[in-house]
Amino acid sequence: ESTGFLKVLMIVVFFAAGCLEIVSILFRPVSLSFRLYGNIFAGENMLETMSRVVPALGWLLPIPFYFMELLVGLVQALVFMLLCAVFTLLVCQHEEKGKEGVP
């Protein structure tokens, strides 16, 4: 009796793990999109806030922050590229059956 129960339990566990893995794979691009959107939105808000701190110097105050935004954009592009490469590698991995000449 216990082996039948364990067999059913293992089927349910493996099915649930498979469903979670599929959901994880499908939400990776969504996660990357939200990360990129959040960083761009935060940078634009910071630039807008800095330009409104002193209305007379609205064009001068955010200039250093433009350079910081360029750096943030470069880092975001690097992170986006690396995460895309890692996610692609994870999807495309395959196990080798064995080496030739080795029994």
How large is the average pLDDT for residues 59-83? 90
* DSSP labels, 57-89: GTTTTTHHHHHHHHHHHHHHHHHHHHHHHHHHH
Give the tens place of pLDDT for each residue, 23-50: 998 998 899 889 889 998 999 998 888 8
Active-site annotation holds for 45: no
Contacts of residues 55-58 at CB distance under 8 Å and 24 or more positions apart, as own/partner, are none
Active-site annotation holds for 52: no
From the candidates 2, 24, 28, 35, which is the catalytic residue? 35
Whether 66 and 47 have beta carbons less than 8 Å apart is answered as yes
From the candidates 31, 33, 45, 52, which is the catalytic residue? 31
- With bands split at pLDDT 50, 70 and 90, how would you rate the model's confidence at 91? confident
User: What are the extents of the domains in the chain?
Assistant: 28-92
From the candidates 2, 28, 33, 39, which is the catalytic residue? 39
